[in-house]
Structure 1
Amino acid sequence: MNKLFFLSALVLTVCFTPLPLMASDSPIKVKIIVDEAYPPYSYAVNGAPRGIYIEMIRKAGTLLNDEYHIEFESMPWKRALKEIELGHAFAILPPYIHRQARPYIGPYSVSLLTERVVAVCNKHISLKSLFQDANAQQSKPLNIGINAGYLMFTDKYKELIAQEKIKVWENKSTQANLHKLIDGKIDCYVNDSRAIEYNLAMITDVMPGEFVEADELSRQTAHIGFSNSSKGNFPYKSDFIYKLNQAISIVKEQHEKFKD
């Protein structure tokens, strides 16, 4: 082999391969804070984290056991975001990518799953007519529920919110929002379609056809987000993200239930 070619290849390999951390006797503990009220993806049972995304990252974590030990801590979503913003926490699961609205998160992991964000409304509510006729007169604003701290609305919703034709109510969880929808305290609820279906199925007194999917707002990929705060001190950040991304990709390839 040409010596110059060999040396060039060696330099490129060194430059673009993440440097390993210093060897230690035990794996580095890495904590990921997770949404405590987002079943079936991420939730807590007696404080213990559960859900599709928790299971996925646990499986990915087994591939990193020699170097890293992943732990989870469940908490309310708004509190979790604040912990990341302050640099008190390293990683959060499972945000969508909102770089401008959340500049304190970055980078993001490879995608976990794609979620379909929809508006589910009382069957008597005509949500689409609100968008079709911008000059339509309303006796009162449409009340839409959303989980506290979630960023779900597209531009057409933001415009109607600014015009006070839509009023947004933040509630603690999917269950809390659905109960307010059932009680008529809100007209619609916006969240991922799987999360809504899963939680509605657990409420026994809902009549078939009582609520309808009135609109699909977007399709969003969920991720692990990492703290970008200057106050954080996570020397293993780049190495861990690189290796976790590889592990997540392997798990998604091997397990059918973790595929979109």
Structure 2
Amino acid sequence: MTGIYTVILERIFQNMPDYKVKLTPVPWKRGLKMAKQGKLLALYPPYARPVERPYMDYDMAILDEELAVFCRNEVLTKPRPNWPEDYYGLDIGNNAGFLAGGDAFWAAVKDKKISVQETKGTPRNLLKLIAGRVDCYMNDSLSIRWELKKLQSEGKYDGSSLSKGAVISKEQGFLGFSKVSNDFPYKKDFKSKYLQILKELKASGEIDRIVDKYLQ
């Protein structure tokens, strides 16, 4: 498992010696279903969606995120600063199950002004974008930059053919604790210690240092 949230959470859990934490990758939709059914303690990194996902607690954000759309350079030969109007007629990639893009975007999709292709995971979406199978891809800027760096090191990306387009919104990523996880009697204690350490790392600037190192 890779990614900035994984790095940060591993750093937090190192400071929780009373617990041995296992991070298990699951498809996003399955993870949401498991959280709803109480089959996992917590899931990361959901955005706060208390109406759509009332079965999770959103206590303290791990990171402030910038949701943006990245496109092939030829798509951005003309300026496209306005989301989603400037992207009408394009094919946009999205992580399967992610509620990104905003209401106006999904209304445009419903009206067939924009088409969407959903694929599991950021690396697969970016490979589709690099191959020209979609025009753009929307996700957290940090995640996209990290994966592009990794793909470039693997010889799968030239390092220059994609650019950031419009900023869609500002979001925050959480460790979302399942409200119905009754099989985890230690949840209250675990959650309390997790939130205290996260608060300390934020206050000390450690989270910012992790992010800076992550993107080098």
Do the structures match in fold with TM over 0.5? yes
- From 81, 89, 105, the equivalent of 1:157 is 105
Quote the Cα distance in structure 2 between the aligned partners of 1:130 and 1:54.
30
Quote the Cα distance in structure 1 between the aligned partners of 2:199 and 2:102.
29
TM-score normalised by the chain length of structure 1 = 0.69
Q: Is the contact made by 2:4 and 2:211 (CA closer than 8 Å) also made in structure 1?
A: no
Task: For structure 2, list consecutive stretches of 5 or more residues without a partner in the other structure.
Answer: none
- Opposite residue 137 of structure 2, the aligned amino acid is Y
Aligned partner of 1:111 in structure 2 is 61
Q: Deviations over 1:72-119 (max 9, x none)?
A: 2222222212211121111111111111121221x1241111111100
Which SS does the other structure have where 1:75 is aligned? coil
Aligned partner of 1:99 in structure 2 is 50
- 1:61 Cα deviation after fit: 2.6
- Opposite residue 197 of structure 2, the aligned amino acid is A
Instruction: Give the alignment's Cα RMSD to 1 decimal.
Output: 2.6
Q: Is the contact made by 1:120 and 1:214 (CA closer than 8 Å) also made in structure 2?
A: yes
Aligned partner of 1:218 in structure 2 is 169
Q: How many residues align?
A: 204
Aligned partner of 2:23 in structure 1 is 72
Question: Is 1:174 equivalent to 2:119 in the alignment?
Answer: no
Question: Is 1:245 equivalent to 2:195 in the alignment?
Answer: yes
Q: Deviations over 1:167-217 (max 9, x none)?
A: 111111111111111222111100111221222232335445522211101
More helix by share: 2
Structure number with larger C-alpha Rg: 1
Q: Is the contact made by 2:82 and 2:166 (CA closer than 8 Å) also made in structure 1?
A: no
Aligned partner of 2:41 in structure 1 is 90
TM-score normalised by the chain length of structure 2 = 0.81
More strand by share: 1
Q: Is the contact made by 2:60 and 2:195 (CA closer than 8 Å) also made in structure 1?
A: yes
Quote the Cα distance in structure 1 between the aligned partners of 2:133 and 2:27.
22
Which SS does the other structure have where 2:92 is aligned? strand
- 1:227 Cα deviation after fit: 0.9
Taking CA–CA contacts closer than 8 Å with sequence separation of 6 or more, which of the two structures ends up with the larger relative contact order?
Answer: 2
Q: Is the contact made by 2:64 and 2:173 (CA closer than 8 Å) also made in structure 1?
A: yes
The alpha-carbon distance between structure 1 residues 225 and 97, as it changes in their structure 2 partners (threshold 3 A), is: same
Task: For structure 1, list consecutive stretches of 5 or more residues without a partner in the other structure.
Answer: 1-43, 45-49
